[in-house]
Amino acid sequence: MTTLTRRIVSLLTPRGRDVSSNAETSPVWSCNEWDSLEEVVVGVVDGAMVPQGDAAVDAIIPEHAEWFIKKYGGKPFPEEMIEKAGEELDGLAKVMTDLGITVKRPQPFDFSKKYTTPWWSSRGLYAAMPRDVFMVFGDTIIEAPMAWRSRYFEGFAFHDLMNDYFKRGGRWLVAPKSTMDEEFYDKNYDSRVPMKDNKKQFVLANNEIAFDAADFVRCGKDVFVQKSNVTNDMGIEWVRRHVDPEFKIHEVEFGDLHPMHIDTTIVPLAPGKILVNPEWVKKLPPIFDSWEVLTPPPPVISEDTGLYFSSDWLTLNMLSIDEKRIIVEEQETPLIEALKKWGFEPIPIPFRNFYPFGGSVHCATLDVRRKGRLESYF
Ligand code: DAV
């Protein structure tokens, strides 16, 4: 074989790396949503800012929340909201520490500082939702490019942690940032007309790579992703090219007309068991035919819960400690009862005051280490 053909052959060979050999040794290892949790990052709300309406923010703000953005956009979240949510995050961290799980928190970061790129200026958002920015595929942490201008530098609030994981042998892959200039957003998108010719419309053009990590959900070798107002075709293709063939990326679409993040739509809880949002999921793709589909009761929405950046379904945004134990918001009693009936062991915690920041327990966390191997469940 000549040198030239040998080089071509090696290019054609898949990365030739046995990811699973790092399951025991890497500080980063997580392949699904339910293996026994060993290490987790919990977000913080310190210094959280309300985003200024840009096109991608406006695309998902519920009508009833427009007043909040008008009043506080570009300003800090009210101090009292930060205090109460911060206490709940600390409570979540303590519950997991008490369960023997290693809990890490992001470093302090000034989100109020105005920054200017060659195309626009913005202030930051927060470090409350590590789930949105990072995802773990086996021994690799992937950092998402994001799609909101206010989130352009958000990853840096976690870089002390990421550098430490890297030093200890973890792999860290950062997706290319887009310009987020005017062309990045589709000027013709109208959030009041989310369907055209039977096709779902999204605010992002597809001229640069965009995704949030929370649009992906992992079931071992099979990973599911939805296109959304923060994730476009190029973003999905970028992830696919970097994780294939160890992981197979399946694109799915459900009934949420203003999608952003898949973790209130389909929630895998254990091998062969998936919770689905009954409002948006009428039918799962055939790959789930052998899985048991669990349909939750409606969410508990109290009058004083400000859902400014999300739907009513934060209810489903739970974190599995293992195949049985699930951390869930304590006021969601119908869901808690349903989980018990299905054989799970819910761990209720107060988390209502975090909802107005746009997520619940799943959003607020990033599972960096879980036990287990990379397996196929289909
Ligand atoms: O239901 O609006 C919110 C999830 C945020 N990470 C929803 C999705």
Return left, alpha or beta for 358; rule: phi > 0 is left, psi -120 to 50 is alpha, else beta: left
Pocket lining: 311 vs ligand 1, CB cutoff 6 Å = yes
Residue 8 has a pLDDT of 47
Bridge partner residues of 308 (DSSP): none
The alpha carbon of 377 is separated from its chain's Cα centroid by a whole number of angstroms, namely 21
Q: Which contacts (CB < 8 Å, 24+ apart) does range 239-244 have? A: 239/142, 239/175, 239/211, 242/142, 242/173, 243/137, 243/140, 243/142, 244/14
Distance 266 CA to ligand 1 centre (A): 11
Q: Is ligand 1 within 6 A of the CB of residue 308?
A: no
CA 229 to ligand 1 center in whole angstroms = 12
Q: Which residues partner with 276 through β-bridges? A: 266
Atom number in ligand 1 closest to CA 311: 2
Ligand 1 lined by 313 (C-beta under 6 Å): yes
310 ligand 1 Cβ < 6 A: yes
pLDDT digit string (tens) for the chain, length 378 residues: 444 544 444 444 455 678 888 888 999 999 999 999 999 999 999 999 999 878 889 888 888 899 999 999 999 999 999 999 999 999 999 999 999 999 999 999 999 999 999 999 999 999 999 999 999 999 999 999 999 999 999 999 999 999 999 999 999 999 999 999 999 999 999 999 999 999 999 999 999 999 999 999 999 999 999 999 999 999 999 999 999 999 999 999 999 999 999 999 999 999 999 999 999 999 999 999 999 999 999 999 877 788 999 999 999 999 999 999 999 999 999 999 999 999 999 999 999 999 999 999 999 999 999 999 999 999
Query: Which of 230, 260, 276, 308 to probe ligand 1 with, by most ligand atoms within 8 A of CB?
Result: 260
Catalytic sites, residue numbers: 212, 261, 363
CB count in 10 Å sphere of residue 120: 15
Token readout for 250 is 């399946």
Is the beta carbon of 214 within 6 A of some atom in ligand 1? Answer: yes
* Nearest CA residue ID for atom 1, ligand 1: 311
**Distance set, CA 101 to CA 98, 326, 328 (Å):** 7, 14, 17
CA 123 to ligand 1 centroid distance, Å = 22
| Cβ–Cβ under 8 Å, residues 274 and 305 | no
Q: 275 to each of 31, 270, 272, 360, how far by Cα in Å?
A: 18, 10, 10, 16
Between the CA of 311 and the centroid of ligand 1 the distance, in Å, is 6
pLDDT of residue 300: 94
Task: Tell me the two tokens of residue 271.
Answer: 């091998």
In contact, 219 and 284? CB cutoff 8 Å: no
Cα 6 → chain centroid = 41
Give the pLDDT score at 301. Answer: 86
Indicate which residue's Cα is closest to atom 5 of ligand 1.
359
Q: Indicate the length of the chain as a whole number.
A: 378
Which of 317, 361, 366 has the most ligand 1 atoms within 8 A of CB, as the residue to mutate?
Answer: 317
